[in-house]
Amino acid sequence: MTPLESKAALSIVADDAADTIEWTLRRTSGSFENRRLQLLESGESIIGYYSQGSAALAVDFYEEKRANARATGRFAAEPVILDRVVKIRRGIAWASEPLSIDDDAAALSRLAEIVKSEVVRPYRSTILEARRRDPESAGWMRLASASSCGFCKMLAAKGAVYKKATATFAAHDSCKCTAVPMFNGEQLGPEASAIQYIASGRRRTAKENQAVREWVAAEYPEELDRRHVKTSSL
């Protein structure tokens, strides 16, 4: 499985999860409070189910790529699904708010965003945790796409490899980027630059955020209206 094939498979998992939450939404009934409660009860289960598939996909991809790289020694990647129950419930509660004015379309758009973002998270978490534990890991590379925003393109620019074990994966809502594990002995791109490490960090100061904005504006001026600087990190 190539990185692009794995990324495509992950998109299918995320899309299936979004279709399931849509099916669930259309079958809710009663008052706004009752409909939101029904979504809270089912949404967490839906995300949990597809998150298992996302993490399993990452395990398969990591181990196959490791084998193809002929990495030495034995290593078994393990699925990583973080406990995000509180954040998921808050997200679903927020996504359900348009139901109070009978705007199902807006609620569905929000729910799909929440579900997709949560479902792809275990894939990245699994790759990054395996990278930290695997002595043959040389780091990871961010795989964006032509339709990605300037922020994501900046993080993936020049095939940058994030070699520091402490490097996190910055992701905005609806982000579709994936992490590609890299191994000793493979031909590697340049190590991530200082600004790429800063942009991918878990926390950034106001000065660092401004530096990231200026970098994106300089390199991807056509993306100014779509840039994402406020992000979450794994």
Rounded to whole angstroms, the Cα distance separating 47 from 25 reads 14
SS3 at position 182: strand
Q: What is the pLDDT of residue 82?
A: 93
Confidence of residue 224 (pLDDT cuts 50, 70, 90): low
Q: In the predicted model, what is the mean pLDDT of residues 103-110?
A: 96
H or E segment at 151?
Answer: helix 150-156
By percentage, how much of the chain surpasses pLDDT 70?
A: 94
Task: Please say whether the beta carbons of 197 and 123 come within 8 A.
Answer: no
Confidence of residue 229 (pLDDT cuts 50, 70, 90): very low
Domain boundaries, the chain: 1-135, 136-234
Confidence of residue 233 (pLDDT cuts 50, 70, 90): low
Tens-place pLDDT, residues 173-189 = 778 899 999 999 899 99
Q: In the predicted model, what is the mean pLDDT of residues 186-213?
A: 86
Could you tell me the CA-to-CA distances from 38 to 110, 138, 180, 185, 195 in Å, in that order? 16, 45, 37, 51, 44
SS3 at position 215: helix
Give the global pTM.
Answer: 0.89
Confidence of residue 223 (pLDDT cuts 50, 70, 90): low
The residues, ordered by sequence, that sit 6+ positions from 48 with a Cβ below 8 Å of its Cβ are 81
